[in-house]
């Protein structure tokens, strides 16, 4: 059965319906320290959550660990959770990934609902059934495929985000445009993301929204693009739920991007997932031009958009060998062969492409030197 993904019009009613369909004996809500203060106040007075028990873990991807996972399991156990209980994951991609994995494994699986509160989680992490944690310095190394009972996307939460997190999610949307069609890709490049980001600045949260100029029109347009982006992912996941084939299209920018993230974590200088993916897309589109004949006009327009909005990855050529070693751990690799997702054109996806070390280093050179 396909995952139930709802573009919200009435969050309280939709969340109540999602809980009612399961009728859990106990209800738990998982947040991190950030969403506890910024997002829980939005829903805490909902009648359907009146009896919910709260579980809160640390924020950011640094908390996406075995230790945090054990804390969630412990809280579920101490709260009397049974196989008939439910976990609501209220937060960004780290919460939906870790919370989904915790629910999928506690007592061999309890029901869970995702209420993503970041743009990245709405268009990527919360939809499609991938759950997991980071392990031994590697992104999403441990996890399972298991879809939430329901995903409720309420774009009003986007007003709690800072500009960096808006851009982080938008990188995944840009990827969806590249793997779908030229019209959607063009819409994404033309959307004035700076109209939202420049007014938010770098410190988000409900307290600062009241003092900002009204951006309702921009948020309405962004919500439309979010719905399109989610539809792209849903179509691909429905065709290939366990990533045996075409779902690998969703990994565009991720083979190199995940290596960037892992290196940043090792160096104790974490970067947002979407920024890593944006920089990874620059490299993998460079490889697409060189190896697949991807159109140079589309390449330069995309790379220009990324450069204007995401800046440049702080990269040293002395990092190349470590990055290459990290790429060898990518889950798409088979029998020691590194598999990339590349494009011959917008929407013309070529999965399982082997790329030489020299070509990868050339792409890293392009990213570093501009």
Asked whether the predicted pLDDT for residue 361 surpasses 50, the reply is: yes
Spatial CA neighbour of 129 closest among 142, 116, 145: 145
Read off the pLDDT of residues 279-337 as tens digits, 9 standing for 90 and up: 999 999 999 999 999 999 999 999 999 999 999 998 999 999 999 999 998 877 776 67
Q: What is the CATH number of the domain that holds 125?
A: 3.40.50.1970
In sequence order, the 6+-apart residues with CB closer than 8 A to the CB of 197 are 163, 166, 167, 309
Question: How many Å apart are CA 90 and CA 115, to the nearest integer?
Answer: 5
Give the domain range for residue 219.
Answer: 163-369
Asked whether the predicted pLDDT for residue 210 surpasses 50, the reply is: no
Asked whether the predicted pLDDT for residue 1 surpasses 90, the reply is: no
What is the band of 200 on the pLDDT scale with cuts at 50, 70, 90? low
Longest CA pairwise span in the chain (Å): 59
Residues 114 and 213 in one domain: no
Angle separating helix axes 296-310 and 273-292, nearest 10 degrees: 160
Residues 309 and 186 in one domain: yes
* Average per-residue pLDDT for the chain: 92
Predicted pLDDT of residue 199: 59
Predicted pLDDT of residue 194: 87
Q: Show which of 160, 186, 212 is a domain's final residue.
A: 160
40-44, 187-191, 238-242: range with lowest mean pLDDT: 238-242
Predicted pLDDT of residue 335: 62
Residues 77 and 176 in one domain: no
Residues 261 and 340 in one domain: yes
Would you give the end-to-end CA distance of the chain in angstroms?
46
Say what percent of the chain tops pLDDT 70. Answer: 94
Residues 131 and 261 in one domain: no
64-78, 176-190, 321-335: range with lowest mean pLDDT: 321-335
Question: How many Å apart are CA 87 and CA 89, to the nearest integer?
Answer: 6
Predicted pLDDT of residue 205: 41
Q: Show which of 160, 187, 214 is a domain's final residue.
A: 160
pTM of the model: 0.90
Write out the chain in H/E/C secondary structure.
Answer: CCCEEEECCCHHHHHHHHHHHHCCCCEEEEEEHHHHHHCHHHHCCCHHHCCCEEEEECCCHHHCCHHHHHHHHHHHHHCCCCCCCEEEEEECHHHHHHHHHHHHHHHHCCEEEEEECCHHHHHHHCCCCECCEEECCEEEEECCECCCCEEEECHHHHHHCCHHHHHHHHHHHHHHHHHHCHHHHHHHHHCCCHHHHHHHCCCCCHHHHCCCCCCHHHHHHHHHHHHHHHHHHHHHHHHCCCCCCHHHHHHCCHHHHHHHHHHHHHCCCCCCHHHHHHHHHHHHHHHHHHHHCCCHHHHHHHHHHHHHHHCCCCCCHHHHHHHHHHHCCCCCCECCECEEEEEEECCEEEEEEECCHHHHHHHHHHHHHC
**Higher pLDDT pick, 157 / 330:** 157
Average pLDDT over residues 115-119: 97
Residues 131 and 168 in one domain: no
Q: What is the CATH number of the domain that holds 241?
A: 1.20.1090.10
How many domains does one find in the chain?
2
Residues 83 and 168 in one domain: no
Residues 177 and 294 in one domain: yes
Predicted pLDDT of residue 220: 87
Predicted pLDDT of residue 215: 57
Say what percent of the chain tops pLDDT 90. Answer: 84
**Higher pLDDT pick, 368 / 196:** 368
Asked whether the predicted pLDDT for residue 261 surpasses 60, the reply is: yes
Tokens 């029109």 belong to residue: 217
Residues 8 and 135 in one domain: yes
Residues 128 and 233 in one domain: no
Asked whether the predicted pLDDT for residue 257 surpasses 90, the reply is: yes
Residues 124 and 209 in one domain: no
Residues 187 and 318 in one domain: yes
């Amino acid at each position: 059965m396909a995952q139930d993904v709802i573009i919200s019009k009435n969050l309280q009613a939709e969340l109540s319906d999602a809980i009612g369909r399961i009728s859990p004996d106990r209800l738990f809500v998982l947040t991190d320290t950030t969403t506890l203060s910024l997002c829980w106040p939005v829903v805490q007075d909902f009648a359907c959550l009146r009896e919910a028990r709260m579980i809160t873990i640390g924020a950011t991807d640094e908390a996406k660990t075995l230790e945090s996972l054990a804390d969630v399991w412990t809280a579920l156990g101490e709260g009397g959770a049974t196989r008939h209980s439910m976990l609501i994951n209220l937060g960004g991609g780290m919460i939906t990934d870790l919370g989904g994995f915790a629910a999928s494994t506690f007592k061999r699986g309890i029901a869970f609902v995702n209420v993503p509160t970041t743009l990245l989680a709405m268009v990527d992490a919360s939809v499609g059934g991938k759950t997991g944690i980071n392990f031994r310095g590697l992104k999403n190394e441990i996890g399972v495929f298991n879809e939430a009972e329901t995903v409720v996307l309420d774009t009003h939460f986007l007003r709690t985000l800072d500009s960096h997190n808006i851009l982080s999610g938008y990188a995944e949307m840009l990827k969806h445009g590249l793997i779908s069609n030229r019209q959607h890709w063009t819409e994404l490049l033309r959307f004035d993301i700076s109209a939202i980001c420049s007014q938010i600045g770098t410190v988000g949260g409900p307290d600062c929204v009241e003092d900002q100029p009204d951006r309702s029109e921009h948020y309405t347009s962004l919500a439309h693009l979010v719905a399109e982006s989610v539809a792209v992912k849903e179509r691909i996941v429905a065709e290939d739920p366990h990533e045996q084939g075409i779902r690998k299209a969703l990994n565009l920018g991720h083979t190199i991007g995940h290596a960037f993230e892992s290196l940043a974590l090792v160096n104790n200088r974490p970067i947002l997932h979407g920024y890593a993916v944006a920089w990874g897309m620059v490299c993998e589109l460079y490889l697409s031009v060189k190896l697949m004949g991807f159109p140079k006009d589309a390449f330069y327009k995309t790379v220009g958009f990324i450069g204007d909005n995401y800046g440049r990855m702080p990269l040293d050529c002395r990092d190349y060998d470590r990055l290459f070693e990290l790429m060898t751990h990518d889950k798409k690799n088979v029998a020691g062969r590194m598999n990339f997702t590349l494009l011959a054109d917008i929407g013309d996806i070529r999965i399982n492409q082997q790329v030489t070390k020299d070509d990868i280093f050339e792409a890293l050179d392009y990213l570093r030197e501009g």
